[in-house]
């Protein structure tokens, strides 16, 4: 499979071949779904917190005498049956929502998501970004010459302060190191731009020695 290759000025230069072991596998929807759910679950930060009956600062004395009032017996005011008492089965900030997947399944999910995007013609490559310094205007002008999309994901082979800062102020543009590729970010983007030198990083990071 081949994708379009653009130069630093946004002009189409030719095409580049993709590795079928990464971009040409049969998509597995179940693995992709599990990987996305895992990413979202691991990003959860439980802040809602209710106090139990043991934690509420209330008197442990009976609210009123047990007999002679004609009412039902009432114990301490910390009970969950009265206003201001403890909460039964309420949310706790100690709850653990984290999930995990075996490494082979995570990589298979990544390959499935990349193959899906490649099959949909939503992946292209950029030769380089040659701005002298971080310039939002230069990067914005480059985007107008690249394939149109509502959400972009730019995959970099290594830290590139110039490109990252140039794209930082543009809405719906995300930059990501090739070694940190994941199904969530891949599927969330409409178009994926992979810098030409990042393909080697992807292969070195995610393919095993036998596959190479």
When pLDDT is averaged across residues 180-204 and rounded to a whole number, the result is 95
Please give the domain boundaries of the chain with CATH numbers for all domains.
2-29+102-206 (3.40.1370.10), 45-96 (no CATH)
Q: Tell me which residue of 204, 199, 176 sits closest to 1, measured CA to CA.
A: 199
Cα 53 to chain centroid distance, Å, stands at 37
CA dist list (Å): 43 to 47, 93, 116: 12, 14, 24
Does pLDDT of 109 surpass 90?
Answer: yes
pLDDT for 204: 93
Q: Tell me which residue of 97, 119, 116 sits closest to 33, measured CA to CA.
A: 116
Walk across the sheet containing 152-156 and list its strands: 12-17, 2-6, 123-126, 191-195, 152-156, 173-177
167 contacts: CB under 8 Å, gap ≥ 6:
136, 139, 154, 173, 175
6: helix, coil or strand? strand
Residue 63 vs residue 126, higher pLDDT: 126
* Residue 73 banded pLDDT, cuts 50, 70, 90: confident
* Residue 130 banded pLDDT, cuts 50, 70, 90: confident
pLDDT for 152: 97
């Amino acid at each position: 499979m081949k994708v379009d290759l653009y130069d630093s000025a946004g002009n189409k230069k030719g095409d580049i071949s993709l590795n079928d072991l990464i971009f040409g596998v049969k998509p597995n929807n179940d693995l992709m779904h599990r990987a996305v759910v895992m990413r979202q679950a691991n990003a959860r930060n439980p802040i809602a917190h209710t106090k139990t009956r043991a934690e509420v600062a209330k008197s442990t004395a009976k609210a009123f005498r047990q007999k002679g009032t004609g009412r039902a017996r009432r114990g301490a005011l910390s009970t969950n049956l009265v206003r201001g008492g403890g909460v039964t089965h309420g949310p706790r900030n100690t709850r653990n929502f984290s999930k995990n997947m075996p490494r082979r399944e995570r990589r298979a999910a990544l390959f499935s998501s990349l193959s899906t995007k490649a099959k949909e013609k939503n992946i292209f490559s950029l030769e380089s970004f040659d701005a002298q310094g971080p310039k939002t205007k230069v990067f914005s002008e480059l985007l107008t010459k690249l394939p149109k999309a509502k959400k972009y994901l730019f995959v970099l082979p290594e830290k590139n302060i110039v490109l990252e800062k140039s794209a930082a102020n543009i809405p719906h543009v995300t930059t990501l190191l090739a070694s940190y590729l994941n199904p969530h970010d891949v599927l969330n983007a409409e178009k994926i731009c992979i810098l030409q030198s990042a393909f080697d990083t992807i292969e070195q990071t995610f393919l095993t020695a036998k596959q190479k």
